[in-house]
């Protein structure tokens, strides 16, 4: 079995385990979907035991766990996540517009983190030991030391104080109001990109310095190859493998970070939906979001594996 095929099988097994664990955890949580979401909204004292039992039968909660799990998993494979208990709409119809918000936010954040991380890391490696290198490393350390939500709040307060414009004023789709969309998304993406960018900068710097000490780089320089050419051919390319690993891992982290950033900036994305669904005990939405995040994480890891095979040909034969 080839390297990529093994990783694909492992990814599918991981997804199955995520669905199983998320289902079991919601089943053993105190209360259930009826008492928390349905009865809670009407006042539990106003529902009789017969009415609660009827609601459980309608939702299929009177069936055994294996039957419920098989039914739910089959629905997810058909892209049918059931019905939201909070809105009464199909889960994926409810989440569809929110996917676009989170994807846009994560895409801008990835671009910002790559631009900041790789350029800063390469600059630090080229000027190792100088004041510029020290300054870049200090910025990265400071960024990693301050919580993301605190930076977001400081940015909102600073912009409101200086310009009178409050960043967290809502969201407009990119196709409807491009300027308003960018004004609301770009600051959130910048804040979300700070931590991954700092980690990427430190990894790029360390990997590139290590690569410039390799035999290939030293031999190229001894042959009279110009520093910029040797740096590009034998330094940066050799350092790409660990850098790609960090990009993949931190892109997955962005999905988790979006939960906080979307709340602070008022963006109606998947992260904000997850918080709302957990507070409302909207179990179908929570389960669907768990699967969406898991698919995103596994898909990103598979993309990293593909990049590995492009950067290191030895992996193509299953080495």
> Do the beta carbons of residue 254 and residue 109 sit within 8 Å?
yes
Q: Is the dihedral of CA 261, 117, 293, 84 positive or negative?
A: positive
pTM attached to this predicted model: 0.77
| Model pLDDT, residue 42 | 47
Percent of the chain with pLDDT over 90: 1
Residues of the chain with pLDDT under 70: 1, 3, 29-49, 51-52, 55, 58-60, 164-170, 227-239, 311-319
Alpha helices in the chain (DSSP H): 3-28, 33, 39-42, 49-59, 65-77, 91-126, 131-145, 148-163, 178-212, 215-222, 227-230, 237-265, 270-280, 283-311
In degrees rounded to 5, what are phi and psi of residue 169?
Answer: -110, 10
pLDDT of residue 45: 47
For the chain, domain boundaries? 3-77, 96-280
Q: How far is Cα 121 from Cα 255, in angstroms, rounded to an integer?
A: 24
CATH number assigned to the domain covering 96-280: 1.10.3720.10
pLDDT value, residue 235: 62
The confidence score (pLDDT) of residue 238 equals 65
Please classify residue 223 by burial: count the beta carbons closer than 10 Å to its beta carbon, then call 0-12 exposed, 13-18 middle and 19+ buried: exposed
Closest CA to 77 of 273, 291, 298: 291
CA angle 72, 90, 261 (to 5 degrees): 95
What per-residue confidence (pLDDT) applies to 168? 61
């Amino acid at each position: 079995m080839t390297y990529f095929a093994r990783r694909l099988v492992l990814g599918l097994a991981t997804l199955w385990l995520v669905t199983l664990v998320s289902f079991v955890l919601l089943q053993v949580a105190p209360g259930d979907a009826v008492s928390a979401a349905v009865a809670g909204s009407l006042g539990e004292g106003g529902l009789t035991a017969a009415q609660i039992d009827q609601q459980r039968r309608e939702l299929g909660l009177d069936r055994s766990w294996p039957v419920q799990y098989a039914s739910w998993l089959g629905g997810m494979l058909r892209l049918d996540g059931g019905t939201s208990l909070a809105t009464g709409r199909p889960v994926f119809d409810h989440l569809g517009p929110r996917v676009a918000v989170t994807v846009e936010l994560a895409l801008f954040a990835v671009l910002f983190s790559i631009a900041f991380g790789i350029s800063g890391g390469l600059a630090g490696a080229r000027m190792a030991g100088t004041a510029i290198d020290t300054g870049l490393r200090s910025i990265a350390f400071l960024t990693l030391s301050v919580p993301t939500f605190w930076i977001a709040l400081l940015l909102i307060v600073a912009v409101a104080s200086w310009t009178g414009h409050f960043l967290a004023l809502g969201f407009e789709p990119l196709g409807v109001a491009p300027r308003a969309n960018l004004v609301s998304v770009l600051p959130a993406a910048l804040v979300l990109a700070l931590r991954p960018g700092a980690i990427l900068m430190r990894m790029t710097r360390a990997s590139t310095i290590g690569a410039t000490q390799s035999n290939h780089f030293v031999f190229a320089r001894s042959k009279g190859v110009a520093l910029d050419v040797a740096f590009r051919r034998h330094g940066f390319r050799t350092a790409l493998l660990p850098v790609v690993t960090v990009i993949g891992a931190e892109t997955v982290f962005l999905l988790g970070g979006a939960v906080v950033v979307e709340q602070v900036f008022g963006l109606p994305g998947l992260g904000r939906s997850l918080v709302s669904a957990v507070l409302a005990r909207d179990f179908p939405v929570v389960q669907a979001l768990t699967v969406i995040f898991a698919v995103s994480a596994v898909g990103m890891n598979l993309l990293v594996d593909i990049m590995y095979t492009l950067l290191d040909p030895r992996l193509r034969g299953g080495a």
